[in-house]
Amino acid sequence: MADNRVLMSFVVTATSHTLAEYRSRGGYASLEKALRAMKPEDVSREVTTSGIQGRGGAAFPMGRKWSVVHLNDGQPHYLCANADEGEPGTFKDRWILENAPHLLIEAMLIAAYALQVRHAFIYIRGEFDRPYRRLAQAAEEAYAAGYCGERILGTDFSCDVIVHRGAGSYVCGEASALLSSLEGKRGYPRNRPPRLTVRGLYQRPTVVNNVETLSNIPWIIAHGGEAFKKIGVEKDPGTRLISISGHIARPGVYEIETGYPWRKFIYEDCGGVLDGRELKCVIPGGISTKVLTGKEIEALTLDNPSLNAAGSSMGSGGMVAIAEGTCMVRLLQVLLRFYHHESCGQCTPCREGMGWMHRIIDRIVAGNGLSEDIDQLYRISGWNDGTTICGMGDAAGYATVGILNKYRDEFEYFIEHKRSKLNGNLECPAYS
């Protein structure tokens, strides 16, 4: 597949995650380079030059986020890696945490140097067991080898890396909720303004970046921001980890250059749809992005400008392939059950709206749908569009509207005939 590999540039073995092997691959060389040969401003400049966008879902340029933090403002700054990878369908950060934990730690130390951070945090999803153990082991190795803690590599730079385990909440993957949770409070998202880069963790400027975004930094430092910018498409440079699941022959995590043809990715790299069936649709980047039909993706490339033009986005890179014959009504039921379960309960539209939509879709699936239900789902989705503190209400609305727009006929059929148009299955091999 892609020629340029930034993250998956080594063979995964039983020991490839250890410090010794990481160093044998040239690990921590970028940290040395940054600490010894570069000023913090130089590191930030390289990151800004690279044009890398956030990989967590919002695609906010990392350089712009960093530029808000003023280095000498006389207050502590914090850095936090968002490893609370909870978006359904997404498991690409898990690959980094399991197989290259030192890459993340090195990246965080470089970022901490650039942002003059004394304490950096990794907030890891509570359900991630092996990734947590690997990361904790890596942190211990890094401390023992003098990469973390006081006077790193003999320089004046000191930074502690703290691994914090979440308790299992989707909303805690939202940056401000993550910080509240890290502070020991209830994981409620916070109101903006103020931005987190102005008042974040413990009311101090805080940069929260996705694991994958951060993990690109060592490569950027080693090869320069200009070199990174040359990978992939100009407006969304670099490579992306895509975790693909669903009705696909070879599910897993793939690294692609942005701008990679989508059709080629699915039919060649991933081996096509399970059982050789037609592709009905794809959820491009986690369930909160709008679904695209099998026809729509034919001409698209895997990068944000291309997907935005099609009315969706790359999101968090958690792709779900859905084969022909899958019941979209039941699919939406699964999604809405998730959003209902995970709403934090802070804002009125999301707290009440998620449960309401879930009860409506449950009723439709139970065969008690009413003709007005589709409009009701549209209406509640609209009430959640941009009206809540965090983006979860919007995400649920997008997912619902995306499916309703494209598969309204299935919903109408289900309501009218009290059964699915397509046998009502989500699983592929049940009827081949």
Our finding on whether 413 is near another protein (CB under 8 A) is no
**Which segment (60-68, 93-101, 186-194, 405-413) binds another protein by CB under 8 A?**
186-194
Euclidean distance between CA atoms 126 and 182, whole angstroms:
12
Between CA 401 and CA 381 the distance in angstroms is: 7
Residue that is written with structure tokens 């309960």 in the block: 345
Tokens found for residue 277: 């069936």
Q: Do the Cβ atoms of 152 and 142 come closer than 8 Å? A: no
User: Is residue 418 involved in binding another protein (CB under 8 A)?
Assistant: no
Selected binder of another protein within 70, 359, 408, 418 (CB under 8 A): 359
Q: Does 360 bind another protein (CB under 8 A)?
A: yes
Please name the residue that has the structure tokens 């014959």. Answer: 325
Among positions 320, 389, 395, 415, the unique one binding another protein when judged by CB under 8 A: 389
Q: Binding segment for another protein among 100-108, 148-156, 259-267, 358-366 (CB under 8 A)?
A: 358-366
Residue 59, phi-psi category: left (phi > 0), alpha (psi -120 to 50), beta (remainder):
left
* Residues 6 or more apart whose Cβ sits within 8 Å of residue 339: 354, 357, 358, 392, 395, 396, 399
> Rounded to an integer, what is the distance from CA 339 to the centroid of its chain?
17
Q: How many residues bind another protein (CB under 8 A)?
A: 34
| Nearest approach, Cβ of residue 177 and another protein (Å) | 11
Q: Tokens 């792709």 sit at which residue?
A: 319
191 binds another protein (CB under 8 A): yes
- Contact between 341 and another protein (CB under 8 A)? yes
> Nearer to another protein by C-beta: 260 or 339?
339
CA distance 377 to 400: 8
With binding defined as CB under 8 A, does residue 102 bind another protein? no
169 lies in the binding site for another protein (CB under 8 A): yes
Instruction: For residue 297, give the H/E element and its range.
Output: helix 294-297
Report whether 349 contacts 393 (CB < 8 A).
yes
Given 23, 186, 199, 337, the residue binding another protein (CB under 8 A):
186
127 counts as binding another protein under rule CB under 8 A: no
Q: Rule CB under 8 A: say whether 399 interacts with another protein.
A: no
Contact positions vs another protein (CB under 8 A): 169, 186, 191-193, 340-349, 351-356, 359-360, 363, 370, 372, 376, 379, 383, 385-389
